[in-house]
């Protein structure tokens, strides 16, 4: 057990020493990683809260409206959360006409999409900025190495050059290590938003068709 603990401590120490070789530019890279991690966790919790069986709710709404039970259709939307609230907004505005129902659902849908897309811009920024900071570290590290070569009068000493090369490599690796997974999570969340938007639009259009038939029957 003692040997394992000692080896784990050595690995942790080696990792910290490697990060330290990246210089001060590792600070904003690490900051980017913490920001990205916080946003990813927050977005997962948000999407979990918005998760609902929209098709199941729509089935109950359709059945209630087929019986002419508008209040029953509203009750079917009670426990569905914000996404199902889009349908409820349309049902509540339905007595005022099709246009009112459509406008109500559009407004409610916009609010849902805004909540789902919140902080995705932060992920996009981190995904773009972190690798750029890493590349900046590459440039500053190579400048440092060339300055040391010049200071030595062309007599290259590997130990002297190591500092600049370490900085160049570590910052590049750090920036890419943050940027790549952040971009993957960003695209994942964007895909989920697009899928939810499609489901909301499909359900809203179906509800408008049902209401349109009711209005035509009432007018006839």
Instruction: Assess if residue 167 is contained within a domain.
Output: yes
**Structural domain count of the chain:** 1
Instruction: Assess if residue 137 is contained within a domain.
Output: yes
Average pLDDT over every residue of 188-217: 86
Instruction: Assess if residue 6 is contained within a domain.
Output: no
Asked whether residue 13 carries a pLDDT value surpassing 60, the answer given is no
Asked whether residue 6 carries a pLDDT value surpassing 50, the answer given is no
Which two three-digit tokens encode residue 10? Answer: 């050595």
Instruction: Assess if residue 3 is contained within a domain.
Output: no
Show the DSSP H helices in the chain as ranges. Answer: 2-21, 26-50, 54-66, 70-76, 81-93, 98-117, 120-151, 158-219
Instruction: Assess if residue 211 is contained within a domain.
Output: yes
What is the chain's mean pLDDT, rounded?
83
- Kindly indicate the confidence band of residue 193, based on its pLDDT and cuts at 50, 70 and 90: very high
Instruction: Assess if residue 116 is contained within a domain.
Output: yes
- Cα separation of 126 and 131, whole Å? 9
- Kindly indicate the confidence band of residue 186, based on its pLDDT and cuts at 50, 70 and 90: very high
- Cα separation of 98 and 200, whole Å? 17
Name which residue leads in pLDDT, 11 or 146: 146
Which two three-digit tokens encode residue 47? Answer: 């999407």
Instruction: Assess if residue 69 is contained within a domain.
Output: yes
Asked whether residue 12 carries a pLDDT value surpassing 60, the answer given is no
pLDDT in tens, 93-143: 888 888 888 899 999 999 999 999 999 999 999 999 999 999 998 888 888
Range of the domain at 148: 24-219
Which two three-digit tokens encode residue 177? Answer: 């290590």
pLDDT in tens, 21-31: 767 888 999 99
The model's pTM is 0.81
- Kindly indicate the confidence band of residue 80, based on its pLDDT and cuts at 50, 70 and 90: confident
Instruction: Assess if residue 61 is contained within a domain.
Output: yes
Supply φ then ψ for residue 156, to 5 degrees. -70, 130
- Kindly indicate the confidence band of residue 70, based on its pLDDT and cuts at 50, 70 and 90: confident
């Amino acid at each position: 057990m003692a040997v394992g603990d000692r080896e784990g401590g050595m690995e942790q120490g080696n990792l910290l020493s490697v990060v330290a070789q990246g210089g001060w530019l590792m600070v904003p890279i690490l900051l980017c990683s913490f920001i990205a991690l916080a946003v990813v966790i927050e977005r997962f919790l948000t999407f979990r809260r918005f998760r609902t069986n929209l098709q199941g709710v729509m089935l109950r709404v359709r059945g209630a409206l087929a019986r002419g039970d508008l209040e029953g259709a509203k009750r079917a939307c009670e426990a569905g959360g914000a996404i199902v609230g889009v349908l409820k907004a349309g049902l509540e505005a339905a007595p005022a006409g099709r246009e009112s129902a459509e406008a109500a659902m559009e407004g409610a849908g916009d609010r849902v999409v805004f909540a789902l897309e919140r902080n995705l811009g932060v992920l996009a920024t981190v995904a773009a900025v972190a690798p750029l900071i890493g590349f900046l570290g590459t440039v500053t590290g190579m400048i440092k190495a060339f300055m040391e070569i010049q200071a030595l009068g062309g007599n290259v000493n590997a130990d002297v050059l190591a500092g600049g090369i370490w900085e160049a490599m570590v910052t590049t690796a750090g920036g890419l290590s943050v940027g790549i997974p952040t971009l993957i999570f960003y695209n994942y969340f964007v895909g989920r938003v697009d899928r939810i938007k499609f489901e909301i639009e499909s359900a809203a259009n179906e509800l408008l068709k049902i209401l349109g038939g009711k209005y035509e029957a009432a007018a006839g």
